[in-house]
Structure 1
Amino acid sequence: MASFEMYREADPVMSKEIRDVVPAHYVLKIKSFSLFAKNNMGKYESGEFEAGGYKWKLILYPNGDKSRNGEGHISIYLAISGTNPLQLGGPIHVAVRFSLYDQICDRYLTEQGSVTRFHALKAEWGVPRYMPLKTFADLSSGYLVDDTCIFGVEVFVIKSSGVGECLTLKASASYTHQWKISRLPSLGEDYLYSDVFTVGDHKWKVWLCPRGDYSNRGQSLSISLGLVEADKLASGQKVNARYVIRLKGPNNFVHQPEAQTTSFSSSTVWWGWPSFMPLKTAMGQGCEHPMLRMTSFETCNEANPENKIEKHESGEFEAGGYKWKLILYPNGDKSQDVGDHISIYLAFSGSSPLQLGDPIHVAVRFSLYDQIRDKFFTEQERVTRFHAFKAEWGVPRYMPLQTFRDRSKGFLVDDTCVFGAEVFVIKGSAVGECLTLKKSTWYTHEWNICRLSSLEDTCLYSDAFTVGDYKWKVLLYPRGDPACRGKNLSAFLSLVDSDKLASGQKVNAKYTIRLKRQCKQVQSKDATSWFSSSAFEWGWRSFMPLKTVCECQTNDSWLIEAEVTVLGTTSKLP
């Protein structure tokens, strides 16, 4: 049984059918719909489903697709899944019906079948103004009951595959897990895992690569959030989480990137930041050495003159593969004719004496804690050499006692003070590189392409051109590279014969790629990158939307300009 109603929303006129039949191909049930807005989720993409031999997904904008004038409405689209893109020259015609379930009358409001054509340049179609939010939220309409609604879609006329999913949104409940790591700068492990913690009925842990993951080895600290026991999720089940990871260090150092929102699943277990923070920054902020806390400082030195402590040696601690100790002269090192300053030294421990002829270079920083402001007063790092005849180094006049005892400074509070030391051993690994800078000379290569909007090629290369003694090519994906297929034109700069570069050799280039039509610039992007045998192509996957190319099918001749200059090269030292 079916009835019909006409429903006009500006243009076009949309014919609606009220029917009892369940949508044939896909049903999307959403619980706690109102949390879309509260959790700042402006778009939702369903899982894949199959119809007519193709993979599809349903795309919903719960508060309207503002990019297509859908404000104040539900916006709904059908899209070809990225795992099964259409090839150019193979368009298909599809009759699409979107449905919304009336839970009061137990019927579906179904839009009359709209026939549209999908192809490589048009992989998505839908209705930006599907239904006014006011109508949708009206309790008497039956579409949103107990904060639950059901959407459906039919793709042509085929038997129901029984495929669907239930999306259950949960209230955002913030949880903070803390993980303390000692000696971060000196950690040599490939990776570390935090303890497991529970948020939203799921278990999580943090994954850390102190020296960077495989793509950032030796350059950046890498960190990610992982879903524990993801393999136990049901087929198609996903967990949507919003998270941020902060790295806190001494001296009020805090590194925090922007928060991310990710859907975790059995195939997508880890998400995070491969380049979370440069290693040089982590090395500079690592609190890897023990603090020396002294209590009753004045009591030891003034109340009982007979028991005055002239010198204090800390216990052993390890740094850089050696044993060390901190030496403090509370009233100054008299051997250096110092009597009105704190004197502080770093020394090799007796358990690891240096051998004759084995000097090492060490960067040392001494610190004193300001207990009022909760900050460390840290002396500028100094590099010194330790050897068999010099097993101790320090600062005889580290701080005047008058300054140290000034209560407003915060160094001595309730007769307690805290000293610290950071020790970084500079080991000669015989690894190095030579950076050769070059005079910036720009070269512009032009590449004419006809009928860009109709090209079937997966990728195209320009002719080779020479800049800075190196050969280059422009790489173009007319339909987008595999990650952007059917959505964007992709453009890259490629270093030719990169496999002939010596081990460790890199080429630094600054470049701009422009796309012009009829002498007018349509798109332009620029960047500076290091090219090597392992990273020989750099550019933009999303260089320009394909719809822009489609809109220019008349006079479909394009000019690609590549403006390149080589800024320098690096080579490994022998």
Structure 2
Amino acid sequence: MVLITAASAAAARAVAAGRPADDYIALETRDASPAHFLFKIESCSLLQNCGIDKYETNDFVAGEHKWKLIICPNGEDKAKDSDYISIYLAMGDTSSMPANWEVNAVFSIFLYNQIHDNYLYSLGITRRFLGVKPQWGFSKFISKKFLTDPSNGYLVDDNCVFGAEVSVVKKEAFAIECLSLKNFEIPYKRDWKIPNFSKLGEFWKSEEFSAGGHKWAVKLYPKGTGDASGRHVSVYLYYYGSNTDTAWYVGSSDNWGRDAFMEIATITDPKKGFIVNDSCLLEVEISVKAVVQICNDGDGDCNGNGNDGFNGIGIIVLAVMSVVGSSSSDKIENERKRNWKIPNFSKLGKVWNSEQFSAGGHKWKINLYPKGNGEATGRSVSVFLQHLGSERVKAPFTVFIKNHENPGGYCKRVSDNLWFSASDNSWGWSSFIEIAEINDSEKRFIVNDSCLLDIEISVQAVAQ
């Protein structure tokens, strides 16, 4: 059975309005007496005649601490609480407590029913007792009208009995985790030229470097490691934390990467241009997105100082590692330029697609929308370059629509240093050239209903 008094309902509305919660009280009944303290008041009606507005009991012990009850028979605040009994649990003698002491406790206040031989009690609440706030309780524990009604059984022969039960929450080691989000819009970039690639031992390791306020290193296994040994080059990014020897990021490991980063046959293929003059170009881009710090107990500031038992730091990182193909390879240089003469331009459908072609060891095609695409529909010609592979490829490119009669006359668009991927495999321009401009006979972009389209692609990096 749960009893919520009328005062409690009003107090609940006060809680909803953001006012103090002390007034809210839900009461239950039970047969068992309180575990720690009982306090009997005889001749209760004489309290007011004797001018006793506040009574503090002697100390009792619970959870290795001293406590006492404070009872205000006419309410703590006579202007607001005069129709209620106020009762509080307070810390007793604290002279032996250390400076800045703190005790967390779950407690209940009891009132004995002398007719039914059971107890009405407040549901346990948890509070933090401090030097500046040594007491907690209820300004409206129970109404005088309810208490003094003989049929309720709480005041019999002018006697009543209150009680208390206290359970101290022991402060043991606990973990504190702090997530700090970072906003690094520009990723940190680092590159290396690894000489004598064919003569490397089990692995090549970079020097330590800083990115996002943390220390890192890259380790490359030219003959692979783990399940990829003998088949792939393996590449890992290592995190070096200053707080522990076993710091971790993205999981519980201090390294992350790929066993099968790139096939050995691919990286050593002279046509790919990844190994030139027995040297390899390696790049890494790092964006530190978040830092998670974990500590045990202490002052809770998660900085590894003072009383904190610091035991870990987690880093959430966006990292792109690339083995870069050198453009000094004649094969790549020749493949990076391509041109088309598109006939019957006025009769093209929604989209013109080029045949597949190779550039930098990858397959591509051009998609041209003569009447535009997306928001540019009906206003501009749209042109996009599409990568036909699953790898992440960094390939800036330039597209030209050329004047038939003047080699120096053209409309040109130059891309940013874009990464193509399986999810973002097409880049270009919705508004490449206005339809009115490409059809202007004086511009000579369309002659005999044909259009000249050129592209230059520079494959700079591949992240597998």
TM-score (norm 1): 0.26
- Larger-gyration structure (1/2): 2
TM-score (norm 2): 0.32
